[in-house]
Structure formats: C-alpha cells, structure tokens
Amino acid sequence: MNEWDNMTIAGFQRQLAAGNASSLDWWAACRERIDACESSIQAWEYLALEPTVAMPAKDGPLPALFGVPVAIKDIIDTQRMPTTWGTRGYHCVAASDMDAAIVTQLARLGALPMGKTVSTEYAYFQPSKTRNPHDTRLTPGGSSSGSAAAVASGMVPVALGTQTVGSIIRPASYCGVVGFKPTHGTISTSGVKALAPSMDTVGWFSRSVEDSCILFSLLTGAAPVRRLGSLNGIRIAVCPLPSTPPLSPDVKTAIDEAAMRLTAQGASVTPLRLGPVFDELVTHQQVILAYEAAHALASERIRFGESMSRPLQALLEDGRRLSLERYWQSRQAAEHARHEISAHFTERVDAILAPSATGAAPEGLDSTGDPLYSRAWTLLGGPCLNLPMHRTSEGLPVGIQLVADRFKDAHLLAIAGVLMT
C-alpha cells in the first residue's frame, strides 16, 4: 500500500491544483506498481511506452481527468496501440484506423491510456493469461479479466470493460473492485468489437463509487451524481435472477450483510419474487447471444474459424442454426420483461439487491467462472453495479450487485455512494 492506492480522481485534482503533484505522477506510480506485479498478474496485453499527454488549453481549467491513468480493454480499438481482441495472436492489428469513440473521449478529458488489458477471446468465454490478484491460482473472471485485475492490484485506478453476459460484474466481484455497467446504449460502442450488440455495453472498473460517479457524468454529459445524506426512504428489493438454485453460503452471507447495512442507513429492504418468465430470461439471453454473435462475428469466423476456441466455435455454430423467428421470440420476451420490471421499479423499488456471481473466484485458469447471475440483468438492460463488501473466511472478495431500472443510473450510483461510505 502507498499513498496512490487510495487516490481518487477528485483527490488527484486537488493535489494538482495545490501544486503537490505533477501531471505524470499518477502515471509513474502506476508504472511502478505494474513493474512490481505484472509478471504474476498478467493483466496487460500491451503497455503504452510513454504517456500521451493532452495539452490543456492555456489559462483554461485542467480537463477533468487530467493525468488520470486508464486501462483500455483489448477489444476496444486504439490508434497508437495494437488490438488483439483476446485472440492470442491469430487476429491482431498493429494499429486501428481510428480510436474507439470512448478512447477519444477519455483522451479529450486528459486521461492517460496506460495500455490494453487482457480480454477473453472476442469477449466471450475462452480465458487468457490473467490471474486473480487475491490468489494467482484463481481466475480473475472474464471477459474483462485484465481490467478487473489491473484495478484490483493497484496498477491503474480506472479501467474500461464491456459486458454482454456478465463481463464487468463477475470479474469485479472476483477481484473485489467496483464495476459499473451503465444502461445499455449509454456509452458509444463505436470501435468496440461487437459480440451481441443488443446487449454489448461499455462500462468500467474503479476503486471507489465516487470515481465511478465522476466517470459517469463526464463520459455521458449527465449532471453530476448528487450525494444523498442517507438512505431514508430508499426501497431495496432482494431478488436473485434466476431465482433457483439456492444461493451458495458465501453469497447468501454477502447479500445478508449488504441488506443489514442498507437497513442501518435507512433503506427498507424487502424480498421481491418476480414471475417465472423472469427465470426464462437466462435462456432468452443465451439465444440472443448466439444469434447476434453468429451474425456479428461472421467475418471473423470465415477467416479465423479454425483458430477459434471450441466454446466460441460452438456458440457461433449454435447461432447459425437459429432462425430469425426464434431469435425474435427471445427479443420480444425480453421486451415484455423490461416493460414489466419497469413497472415494479416505478411503483415500489429504487434498486434491486442481487448476487454478482455464484461465489468467490473459482480455482484454475481454464474458466472465468459462471456468469449466471448477470444474464437476466444484462438482458433487461438497466444499470448494474458490483460493490466489493464481503470477504470469505479465506479472505476472498464476494461482491453484491445493485441493479436499477433503465435510465436510473445516477440514482443507483447515488444509493451506492451512501452504502459504501
């Protein structure tokens, strides 16, 4: 631990303003940490050789993320760094024609791209090399494996990720960091490799809810997230989706602890049981994923099909066999569920408390773990937040997930801000 491990974006801005830090200090501290632990964690696919500093306007205020190091998931195009899409070399471009839109936005805000963080293959299931910083025998989760591990090990304060199934919430839970998936469609996916566009969502990992709030407002043009004094009047519903099987003991404890803290801060916490159609969302999510992936990755399959992992090949084969009618049936089921859950939220729920994952990070690097508890929420499209609150008796993080209705991202972040203080 050093002074940089608890540094926040706002804290760094204050240091800069007071003349106690210079623009490259945070970058240098991160590089030092990377030098110390990258060989064991292997979070990076590529490291930028030197910081690219955006020159601030003369006499103007510093841009809001000036000097903040950020990691870019390796399925996101970068003009000055290679992209491999987690393919371990069979698909690699030395430089993209354009930076992804979100990379340009971060640069305009003064952030410093530190490098490209490891992704599973095309952001689907096949793991790469990254290890869990809490125990290198464990998976960090996926697909945003490197981004979660880099933030968890202090190599960078902020990292971009994407979620189509559970690729932000699960690794955030396994690695013990804040992970935020905004409402679908909030952050531009221009220059981000598509897997299943109706669910692909750009989000990020951070060390604090506070930093996540700042990023949300800066990257979207939303008003600053207001700070709540307490959770008085906030209605929380506990609702794992799918509703079966029963939660594992570690996850149940994590949820119970979170419920207690929420209650202590003034919120009402009640169970919510959604109808059986909500359990079917897991299947619909799989159908939509397969159909859209088979179409979105049609060119990659033709060129690199033989190099692809078996799970990815199987997904694309499954998708090719699905008719449009079957796909649309699942899309319509998802829409009905979205409509129904919006009514729940509007009438009686501010946020839902749910598991982030089926337990702590499993052992081994052959799998990135089970995304079961993210499938339905990702399909429903609302904002999802992993909060690192609980540790198992072995000291491993088990996160809890807070979910809100679509377009209620700021309210969700505000609630989490109170919970985590």
Contact residues toward a copy of itself (CB under 8 A) are 93, 96-101, 103-105, 108, 183, 185-191, 194, 197-198, 220-223, 291-292, 295-300, 302-303, 320, 322-325, 327-328, 331-332, 339, 407
Evaluated on CA atoms 184, 213, 13, 37, the torsion sign reads negative
- Give the integer Cα–Cα distance in Å for 209 and 265: 17
Least Cα distance to 83 among 110, 123, 53 occurs for: 123
Residue 167 appears among annotated catalytic residues? yes
Of 277 and 298, nearer to a copy of itself (C-beta) is 298
Give the nearest distance from C-beta 326 to a copy of itself in angstroms: 9
Task: Tell me the longest C-alpha to C-alpha distance in the chain.
Answer: 62
Give the nearest distance from C-beta 394 to a copy of itself in angstroms: 41
State the amino acid at position 216 in one-letter form. F
What are the structure tokens assigned to 200, written together? 């692909």
Q: How many CA atoms lie within 13 A of 404 on its CB side?
A: 21
Give the nearest distance from C-beta 183 to a copy of itself in angstroms: 8
- Give the integer Cα–Cα distance in Å for 213 and 34: 26
Of 185 and 266, nearer to a copy of itself (C-beta) is 185
Integer CA distances (angstroms), 37 to 63, 72, 173, 345, in order: 30, 18, 20, 43
Give the nearest distance from C-beta 10 to a copy of itself in angstroms: 20
Residue 116 appears among annotated catalytic residues? no
What are the structure tokens assigned to 83, written together? 């992209």
Could you tell me if 229 and 235 are in contact, meaning their C-beta atoms sit under 8 angstroms apart?
Answer: no
Could you tell me if 286 and 326 are in contact, meaning their C-beta atoms sit under 8 angstroms apart?
Answer: no
Catalytic residue among 119, 153, 167, 309: 167
Of 189 and 358, nearer to a copy of itself (C-beta) is 189
Of 96 and 392, nearer to a copy of itself (C-beta) is 96
- Give the integer Cα–Cα distance in Å for 335 and 324: 16
What are the structure tokens assigned to 391, written together? 């540790």
Of 161 and 399, nearer to a copy of itself (C-beta) is 161
What are the structure tokens assigned to 59, written together? 């006499």
Give the nearest distance from C-beta 321 to a copy of itself in angstroms: 8
Could you tell me if 181 and 152 are in contact, meaning their C-beta atoms sit under 8 angstroms apart?
Answer: no
Give the nearest distance from C-beta 58 to a copy of itself in angstroms: 19
How big, in percent rounded to 5, are the helix, strand and coil portions of the chain? 40, 15, 45
Of 156 and 202, nearer to a copy of itself (C-beta) is 202
No. of helices (H) and no. of strands (E), the chain: 14, 11
Give the nearest distance from C-beta 324 to a copy of itself in angstroms: 4
What are the structure tokens assigned to 280, written together? 């079917």
Of 14 and 108, nearer to a copy of itself (C-beta) is 108
Residue 143 appears among annotated catalytic residues? yes
Of 187 and 237, nearer to a copy of itself (C-beta) is 187
Give the DSSP letter string of 219-274. Answer: HHTPPPPPPPS--TT-EEEE--SS--SPPPHHHHHHHHHHHHHHHHTT-EEEE---
The values of phi and psi at residue 250, to 5°, are -60, -40
Catalytic residue among 143, 153, 173, 212: 143
State the catalytic residues: 73, 143, 167
